Copies of this chain bind each other. A is one copy, B any other.
Amino acid sequence: MNIDMIRAAADRLAGHVRKTPLLTSPFLDEIAGRQVWVKPECLQHTGSFKFRGGWSAVSAMDEETRKKGVIAFSSGNHAQGVALAAAKHGAPAVIIMPEDAPRMKIENTRALGAEVVLYDRAGGESREAVGDALSQDRELTLIRPYDDPYVIAGQGTTGLEIAEQANEAGVTDADVLICCGGGGLTSGIAMALEADAPGLRTRPCEPEEFDDVARSLRSGGIEKNNATSGNICDAIITPAPGELTFPIMYRLCGPGLVVTEVECLHAMALAFSRLKIVVEPGGAAALAAALFHPDEIEGDNVFAVCTGGNVDADMFKTALDRFA
């Protein structure tokens, strides 16, 4: 895993990925007490940065392997990112989802061209068993959500863009806050910034009680969460940092920030009123940290990556009801 892999991914993504702009608002700057730069990856294809990693992985495969197809386990943003990336390459995609996943997510993933295979989570069926059988039968290639070098490289292209855009804005010294689950995006961005903008410090942001990355960075070893569900920030709830991603984060990232669910809802409402973007709870963690944890941040500038916008209307209305 090195910067050349991220640059190679950027070459493969060119013309296919959306280069998201940097957004700002004087109203957010006033709350944060410093200049806030928002990178809205909710505007990326399929509504999250996951399309970058999906495209990177699918585009790196040799033609023979790709024609057989890819497989992913996900009920969320990774599913849609892989599905669209595969479809645009003309490759079959199988997505394994729990049969109690939200109907909308199942339908969206199907509509993006993937074959959705449901498993009975409540009845104790193992998704790995379902997936392994399919993979062997059809020689599908598994695309992991974060512990995959090509996926990390794809997510890291976000960091190349941040480095370029920070340079254009004349900012050479700042914390860069990232909503962090397994660490694919965070580790990729950290490597990109190390190379292209060494004055920018990457820092993971997580919800309270699911701060495995923050704790792992403190202890120096991989720490697990006690639970794997029960938080509105579902997009960034993972069991533990990845085997590939953690060493990169440990070497390059500043201390993790921890936010509450209520702070995420508040950040969603401010992104609505001040930036005109739709952000999901887990995609708002970094913005929440930038706005509501000013004493834990250094410098006159802060970057926050809003990682996704796949939120249903009811949750969005909850944020508006409380804070808009």
Which A residues have a C-beta under 8 Å from some C-beta of B? 18-21, 23-24, 26-27, 30, 40, 42-43, 45, 47, 84, 108, 111-112, 269, 272-273, 275-279, 309, 312-313, 316-317, 320-321, 324
Contacts of A317 in B (CB 8 A): 317, 320-321
Contact of A276 among B23, B24, B277 (CB under 8 A): B277
User: In the bound complex, how far is the Cα of B27 from the Cα of A122, in angstroms?
Assistant: 31
Contacts of A108 in B (CB 8 A): 27
Q: List 21 A-B contacts (CB under 8 A).
A: A18-B23, A19-B21, A20-B21, A21-B43, A26-B111, A30-B111, A40-B276, A42-B276, A43-B275, A43-B276, A47-B276, A269-B313, A272-B278, A273-B313, A276-B279, A276-B309, A278-B278, A313-B320, A317-B317, A317-B320, A317-B321
Chain B min CB distance to A174 (Å): 20
Most buried by B among A30, A108, A278: A278
Contacts of A112 in B (CB 8 A): 26
Are B19 and A272 touching (Cβ within 8 A)?
no
Residue of B nearest to A320 (CB): B313
Contacts of A320 in B (CB 8 A): 313, 316-317
Chain B min CB distance to A237 (Å): 21
Contacts of A21 in B (CB 8 A): 18-21, 43
Chain B min CB distance to A306 (Å): 9
Please name the 3 residue pairs, one residue from A and one from B, whose CB atoms are nearest each other, closest first: A276-B309, A313-B324, A276-B278
User: In the bound complex, how far is the Cα of B108 from the Cα of A27, in angstroms?
Assistant: 9
- Given A43-B21, A324-B313, also A111-B276 (CB < 8 A): no
User: In the bound complex, how far is the Cα of B34 from the Cα of A196, in angstroms?
Assistant: 40
Are A272 and B313 touching (Cβ within 8 A)?
yes
Most buried by B among A23, A45, A276, A317: A276
Contact of A277 among B273, B278, B312 (CB under 8 A): B278
User: In the bound complex, how far is the Cα of B312 from the Cα of A45, in angstroms?
Assistant: 27
